[in-house]
Amino acid sequence: MGHAGTLDPMATGLLVLLVGPYTRLEPYLSSAEKEYTAAIAFGSSTDTDDAEGTVIASAPVPPGVLDADYAAEVLHGFLGASMQLPPSYSAIKVGGAVAHRAARSGSPLELAERSINVLSAELLGVEAETATWNVAFRVSKGTYIRALARDIGERLGVPAHLAGLRRTASGTLRLEDAQPLEGLTDPTAAFVDPLGALGLPVVEVESALIANGAPLDRALAHDVADGVDLAVTCAGELRAVYSAAADRLIPRVVLPHGGPR
């Protein structure tokens, strides 16, 4: 088994699990956009950038921070592409060392900024009693919502941390279509259509054409641009992922007939 993106320890919501040969689809599913609902608490910051960490700074929260119009305006300023410094407590590896383990040992790693994209940031509400913003985010792969909470606080000059996080979607997969682990006696009942999960253009071919992972005729996907990935089916079943090149379709992943059992 594998997964298409971990959840932070305090987070809840959608976790996409991959079984058997479908673990080979991880690069395509992990790269999907993610959606979250988040609670950003102002007045204190922590070493982990979330509620599980140790408070490292605190300050009064100016009343203006809790104005809904102002909050929405600030969130709008975080839309688009930017560079983000990941949290010190993360699963990122540097030279084989894991960031959160190094941080807990007292020797935090120097992490490089990474490119992210905040596609939407909708204010769901402001809770004045707890000095909290509730926000719905849609973000690119690799975006840390904890770091967004930290950076929003820094922009406002007020310590802040992530007080709650729930993943609501990963690519085409949504939380309302997921199955809770509790009481799941038949794991196959939780399987979803891999074609729908991938959300790629689809090309139907005869099974013999991909039996040995051979390239395919470019004309089969003449309307797909170079560099675009596509799903290849045989009798409607996902059997491979190919990439469109200038003169042919190149195999990236070839799956056995029938999938996991």
Catalytic residue among 8, 47, 50, 229: 8
CB 217 within 8 A of CB 209: no
- Name 242's Cβ contacts closer than 8 Å, sequence gap at least 6: 203, 216, 221, 229, 230, 232, 249, 250, 251, 252
Nearest to 122 by CA among 60, 75, 53: 75
Tokens of 156: 């406002």
Tokens of 253: 């992943």
Q: What is the CA radius of gyration of the chain?
A: 22
Nearest to 148 by CA among 37, 30, 28, 9: 37
As a residue count, the chain comes to: 261
CB 102 within 8 A of CB 108: yes
Residue 8 falls in the annotated catalytic set: yes
What distance in Å separates the CA atoms of residue 22 and residue 240, rounded to the nearest whole number?
10
Four-CA torsion 102, 107, 110, 111, nearest 10 degrees: 20
What distance in Å separates the CA atoms of residue 89 and residue 39, rounded to the nearest whole number?
19
Number of alpha carbons in the 13 Å side-chain half-sphere of residue 258: 2
Other C-beta atoms within 10 Å of 132: how many? 21
CB 195 within 8 A of CB 239: no
So which residues are the catalytic ones?
Answer: 8
